[in-house]
Amino acid sequence: MASHIREFLGHEKPSDYYSKLAEELERTNSEYHAFNVIKKDTEAKNQVPFSTKANICVKGVETTAGSKMLRGYVPPFNATVVERMLKEGSFSFIGETNMDEFGFGTFGINTEVPARNAFDSRYAAGGSSSGSAVATALLKYHVAIAESTGGSISTPAALNGVVGFTPTYGAVSRYGLIDYANSLDKIGIMARSSDDARGVFDVIRGRDNYDVTCAIEKITNNKKGKLFVIEELLEKADPKIRSEFERLLDKLGKEYEIKTISMNILSDAIEPYYIIAMAEASTNLAKYNGYKYGFQYGEFNRRYNDFFTEARSNFGMEAKRRIILGTFIRSESVKARYYTKALMIRQMIINEMGKVLKDGFVISPTLPIPTPKIADVEKLTPVQNYALDVFTIPPSIGGFPHLTFPYAYVNEMPIGAQIITEQANDYALLDFSSKWEESFQYKYKHNIGSL
């Protein structure tokens, strides 16, 4: 598919382009709730509009990570990715997008006003980067800077029919990101084409002195001739999803060798992922007590326990659940039984997947079920919800780059497939997806900003 970035930059825009765009977004946002903040005073300089997830700091813009606890927080600096986008000269910031509180969620409903699917507002947008995906599906000329911990880019991208690219852990700086789980968080991109995602990746990747984990400089493009399907994972997919995925494999089989393999260790990936993620989340959220960090609820002249309790009661239900479970997991009496073992299993997953990915890509559906309605998601138990991350957690826990691309429609809603490669081989994914886009036709309902 042709690059929307190149198309946009190739035509001069009217002087009132951004003001009209902001007006259109305000109207549309009342239905889809993609944005938490829409910037209205941007000058038209023929720059491509870009948005950031609400946990990525933008100087002078309220950045709440979708939580009441950070209400009123206005960063005095830009995250490294934002700084690099602005300095590049081809991009203009237009707003911050909706998300699950602190990134805690699969379907974007763990926030005050959930984002709604761009194809049908009755359906879930996916999470936690829900607003990023919806904004990308709504806007013809736009790229989104998003963030993923365990599938937070892949899932909403799949449900809204856009490309969701999660780079290798350490390829993109996390400086200026409000953390969920430090060893798992990755800043990535959503776009309407893989070429657009590549253009943004070229701008934001690279070492950063402000982030010691951002250590990967060289990104390769080692093309693969094999596609591996993990038997234990595919068994967990809904029959409709499996049927469409098999059709996709038939098409891809003309160019790639398709091989089904067994990898039992991935059947156990969800448990260690959530143990690690919750332990790190509870640590990161401990500082939000209303004194130095977090919104101040009331005056400082009260007893500490009263002040602290009232402040932290403003966390949402899912945040409270992860704080409690994470604190329990980290406690001395059970740490060896849960957290230490989770780290061991994580390393086993990295080793096993690493061996396979040297020989080819791993491909799977992105989500095991068709796009659900918001009303149905609200009925899921936490355990049922977590289990739906079965395809996105393996690459996330191992820090492997992965990309979701749209490939079919079920019940007139888009579904996505996820492709994974070895660490630091990110460009191979973008090339793979770009080839696929030549044969798959997007059917967007909206083209806001197509002036």
Catalytic residues: 53, 128, 152
Among the residues of 142-238, which ranges form H helices? 154-160, 194-204, 231-234
Helix (H) or strand (E) holding 260: strand 257-261
> What proportions of the chain, in percent to the nearest 5, are helix, strand and coil?
40, 15, 45
- Do the beta carbons of residue 136 and residue 404 sit within 8 Å? no
User: What whole-number distance in Å separates Cα of residue 308 and Cα of residue 317?
Assistant: 17
Of 451, 415, 427, which is closest to residue 156 (Cα–Cα)?
415
Instruction: Evaluate whether 440 touches 416 at the Cβ level (below 8 Å).
Output: no
Closest Cα partner for 368 from 186, 234, 209?
234
Give the DSSP letter string of 50-77. EEEETTB--TTS---TT-GGGTT---SS
> Radius of gyration over alpha carbons of the chain, in Å?
21
Token pair for 105? 């969620």
